[in-house]
Amino acid sequence: MKILALDTSCDDTSTAVVDGLKVESNVISSQVRYHKKFGGVVPFLAQRLHKERIDSVVELALKRAEIDPLRLDAIAVTVGPGLAPALEVGIQKAKTLAEKWNLPIYRVNHMAGHLASSLTQVGSRVNQVEFPVLGLLVSGGHTELVYAKKWGDFKLLGQTLDDALGEAYDKLSKMLGMGYPGGPLIAKLAEKGEASRYELPIPLKYSKDYNFSYSGLKNASRLLIETLRAESPDGVLNRAQIEDLAASFEKVAQTAIVLKVEKVLHDYPECQYLLLGGGVAANTVLRRRLRVACKPFGVKLITPLHRFLCTDNAAMIGVAAYLDYLAGKKPDKISELDRKPGLLIG
Ligand code: KG4
Ligand code: ZN
């Protein structure tokens, strides 16, 4: 089944062609350099840029997959969660194309897409899993633990009460006067830092639920930066301090994840697989720590098979739609398709 998928949920204009689980093409036009100076994504700027780029991104995805639109079987599009003005562009384009080519259309939850990213086939490589599975989704907007009895039968077990994990990385980067997105930058600095130098609080260490919280860690980091700046003769942090701060932050931010993952693995012994998705899934230290956490439970950590599948991409949206189709979901009515900025999984 060949699906043309579109995702414009945030600051990437992405279109892909998938054939079943397999990626045939995946085009991502990033807007990062435009939003960078604002330290985050500006919704109406994102909308304007999506509008400018969507046609060429669709064209390129079809070209790279070497497919005539007449050979497509369906269109898939992200309807939420995401930025309303940004989502709107992908949905309108998907509707137009579905009508033009007379194709059925499937709406996709962006977080179900991130869950599908580790089930997505790249070349001849594909991850095999058996349901029920657990999912850990860590992106710039979301931090979620999901239980999936089978594909499509999702239960949201816990989520962040305030900032998401990726957002916390981004905000620390901004506080340090560095770039956006901050995740890869902080992760790089943390590699060289001493994680035990600064003591920062582990978020929700003692809570008995599956939720997360990163605003307390953000505030503690801000206070620490202010104190270090006040103590510094020239008012700036030196390289070693920045690296140690990044490492100390990363350690506790990830410990909060590991603690809840251990809890969920303990509470759901019927699950043999933990699927990891979202931009922060690209973090190699997090992957390593999760693998270690999974081991005593006999659980296998399943990660996306390529970096491009971690951050936002349309291939995962196409694969989620294909899995929906396999699960018996019927196509959606074009007239009923609308943006759902606050859509939850499950
Ligand atoms: O999934 P994604 O592309 O967008 C959302 O749906 O939110 O995730 C982007 C987030 C950003 O916050 C970015 O800083 C973070 O993923 N990120 C990372 C890494 N690569 C991207 N965070 C930590 N370590 C990384 N290597
Ligand atoms: Zn995302």
pLDDT digits (tens, 9 = 90+) for 39-97: 778 999 999 999 999 999 999 999 999 999 999 999 999 999 999 999 999 999 999 99
Could you tell me the CA-to-CA distances from 28 to 3, 14, 61, 82 in Å, in that order? 16, 4, 9, 17
> Is 314 exposed, middle or buried, given 0-12, 13-18 or 19+ CB atoms closer than 10 A?
buried
Q: Work out the average pLDDT over 114-119.
A: 98
Ligand 1 neighbourhood includes 81 CB (under 6 angstroms): no
**Full-model pTM:** 0.97
Please name which ligand lies nearest the alpha carbon of 281.
1
Ligand 1 site-directed mutation target among 11, 41, 169, most atoms within 8 Å of CB: 169
Q: Work out the average pLDDT over 307-330.
A: 98
> Mean pLDDT, the chain, as a whole number?
97
C-alpha of residue 104 to centroid of ligand 1, in Å: 32
Atom of ligand 1 nearest to the CA of 110: 6
C-alpha of residue 47 to centroid of ligand 2, in Å: 16
Q: Work out the average pLDDT over 288-316.
A: 98
CA distance 304 to 279: 11
Helix/strand/coil percentages in the chain, nearest 5 = 50, 20, 30
Ligand 1 neighbourhood includes 312 CB (under 6 angstroms): yes
pLDDT of residue 177: 92
pLDDT of residue 247: 98
Both tokens assigned to 56:
């060429």
